[in-house]
Structure formats: structure tokens, C-alpha cells
């Protein structure tokens, strides 16, 4: 999200096998951070200096792995290229914050969620319900049929 708008959205299956959900989240966070840094550098080049970026994650173990290099025994099997995330956190370019799964806006694209939660997350993304808008238009002018 940038200026309350979705800047980029992607949902894909990871191509590597992981041993835990924390490891899968850690790898997904690394991929996200690489894309975010591209956006940061673009904005800086356009004359908009950036502070550190806050990234929300619903897996506390993945956050702990990124913030604490002391977890080496638990993460030594993870390819070193994914520790790029840890490096960016140490440099202060990225701040990881815990966000409960129920409030994770990104989940709207990755899993089936109850309607109420979907509507809450959709509104947090700044999207409107198209059917409701069409219904309201018909109430105002019954001769107008929106496409």
C-alpha cells in the first residue's frame, strides 16, 4: 500500500519446499522486500526520499528470524540469499511489524475468508462494492441500467 492505494499485488505458489510455515513466510518476505526496494529506489530517483518501510507479517517466528541473527541453528538450512531480508532489517531500511492474520490485507488474495472479513479487508484496500453502487444507482434512476 502506498498513499492508501495498492501499489503491487501478487499471489503465487512458492517453488521450493520449506520445513515450516515460518520458513515459507521468511522466504516470501524476502521476495517482497526485493520488490519494495525497487519501488523505494524509483521514488528516491524521482526526488521523493524514503524512510524505512513498515512491512506487516502475521508470522511471529518469521519476524524473529529476520530480526535476530542468533536463530542460526534454526535457520542455517535456509539459503543465504534469503538472509537478504535480515540484512535490510539490520540496515533499518525495512521494519517488520506483527499484524494478526484477521487484519492482514494481503490475505484477501491468498485464501478463502468469511464474507465479513473480506468486506473489511476490501474497504482497507480502498475498494468499493460494485454491486452496491449499481443498486444505489438504480434506486436513484430506475430507467438507468448500469453496465
In a domain, 93, yes or no: yes
Residue 4 lies in a domain: no
* Residue 139 lies inside a defined structural domain of this protein: no
Domain that holds residue 45: 11-103
Whether 70 is in a domain gets the answer yes
Find the DSSP H helices in 9-142.
Answer: 21-45, 60-67, 72-75, 84-91, 115-124, 130-140
pLDDT tens sequence across 78-123: 666 667 888 888 888 889 999 998 888 877 877 888 888 888 888 8
Give the bridge partners for 53, in sequence order.
Answer: 94
Report yes or no on whether pTM surpasses 0.85. Answer: no
Tell me how far apart the alpha carbons of residues 44 and 131 are, in angstroms, rounded to a whole number. Answer: 39
Q: Which residues pair with 94 in a beta bridge?
A: 53
Domain presence at residue 48: yes
The domain total for the chain is: 1
The verdict on residue 137 lying in a domain is no
pLDDT one-digit tens code per residue, 44-72: 898 988 888 888 888 888 888 888 766 55
Query: What's the rounded Cα separation, in Å, for the pair 40 and 143?
Result: 48
Q: Is 127 within a domain?
A: no
Amino acid at each position: 500500500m502506498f498513499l492508501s492505494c495498492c501499489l503491487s499485488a501478487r499471489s503465487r505458489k512458492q517453488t521450493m519446499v520449506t520445513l515450516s510455515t515460518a520458513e515459507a513466510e521468511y522466504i516470501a518476505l524476502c521476495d517482497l522486500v526485493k520488490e519494495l526496494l525497487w519501488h523505494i529506489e524509483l521514488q528516491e530517483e524521482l526526488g521523493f526520499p524514503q524512510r524505512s518501510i513498515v512491512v506487516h507479517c502475521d508470522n511471529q517466528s518469521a519476524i524473529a528470524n529476520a530480526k535476530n541473527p542468533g536463530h542460526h541453528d534454526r535457520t542455517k538450512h535456509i539459503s543465504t540469499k534469503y538472509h537478504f531480508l535480515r540484512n535490510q532489517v539490520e540496515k533499518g531500511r525495512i521494519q517488520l511489524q506483527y499484524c494478526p492474520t484477521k487484519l492482514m490485507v494481503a490475505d484477501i488474495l491468498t485464501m478463502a475468508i468469511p464474507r465479513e472479513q473480506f468486506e473489511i479487508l476490501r474497504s482497507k484496500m480502498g475498494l468499493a462494492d460494485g454491486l452496491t453502487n449499481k443498486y444505489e444507482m438504480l434506486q436513484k434512476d430506475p430507467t438507468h441500467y448500469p453496465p
